[in-house]
């Protein structure tokens, strides 16, 4: 019986040592998760504010002074292609900036999720090691996951091809 108790003490001490070694990465990824969470919330609020202010500005500065939507359509019916081109250009610039802000939001959300997954991996391994269920081959997989390069978080296929230029670039690069 003494031998069995000694083995349990050795397993426990090994688990504690590994836990102490992995405490640094847990703290690092917890802080990283918190920073990305804050950035996600901030960029999400900026995105909502930008879109809301753009739509409100359009209605208050363009539609309302014209006398309503029907009057606005009648006003632009005689504008010709030049006037419609200017309107389309302004709308395109607004939408492009909205897309950039959204992609930054999606990037931060992705990095927040990645950091949370790494914390979960470490804590799961520590829980298994404490109970004596973790084997050395698990540690290799854990280290591979922890030190794998994190992607930059930019979600490349979030919207697909938005226009003809994106479609041509996608065909040329093969992505």
pLDDT digits (tens, 9 = 90+) for 3-52: 455 666 566 566 666 665 667 778 888 899 999 999 999 999 999 999 99
153: pLDDT strictly greater than 60: no
- 116-153 CB burial, b ≥16 within 10 A, e <16: bebbebbeebbeebbeeebeeeeeeebeeebeeeeeeb
| Average pLDDT, integer, range 122-151 | 73
Handedness of CA 131, 136, 138, 142 (dihedral sign): positive
Residues 6+ apart with CB under 8 A from 37: 112
Q: Let me know the angle formed at the C-alpha of 67 by 66 and 72, rounded to the nearest 5 degrees.
A: 50
What DSSP character marks residue 149? Answer: P
CB atoms within 10 A of CB 105: 22
CA 16 to chain centre: 34
- pLDDT over 70 at 54, yes or no: yes
CA distance 71 to 104: 38
Q: What is the pLDDT of residues 56-110, one digit of tens each?
A: 888 787 666 667 777 777 777 777 777 778 878 888 899 999 999 999 998 899 8
């Amino acid at each position: 019986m003494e031998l069995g108790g000694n083995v349990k003490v050795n397993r426990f001490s090994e688990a504690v040592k590994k836990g102490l070694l992995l405490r640094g990465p847990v703290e690092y990824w917890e802080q990283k998760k918190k920073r990305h969470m804050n950035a996600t919330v901030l960029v999400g609020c900026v995105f909502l504010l930008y879109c809301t202010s753009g739509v409100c500005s359009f209605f208050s500065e363009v539609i309302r002074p014209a006398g309503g939507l029907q009057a606005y359509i009648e006003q632009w019916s005689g504008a010709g292609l030049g006037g419609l081109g200017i309107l389309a250009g302004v709308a395109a610039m607004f939408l492009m900036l909205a897309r950039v802000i959204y992609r930054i939001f999606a990037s931060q959300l992705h990095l927040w999720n990645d950091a949370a997954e790494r914390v979960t991996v470490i804590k799961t391994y520590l829980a298994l090691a404490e109970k004596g269920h973790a084997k050395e081959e698990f540690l290799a997989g854990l280290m591979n996951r922890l030190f794998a390069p994190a992607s930059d978080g930019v979600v490349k296929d979030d919207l697909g091809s938005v226009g003809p230029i994106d479609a041509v670039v996608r065909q040329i690069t093969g992505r």
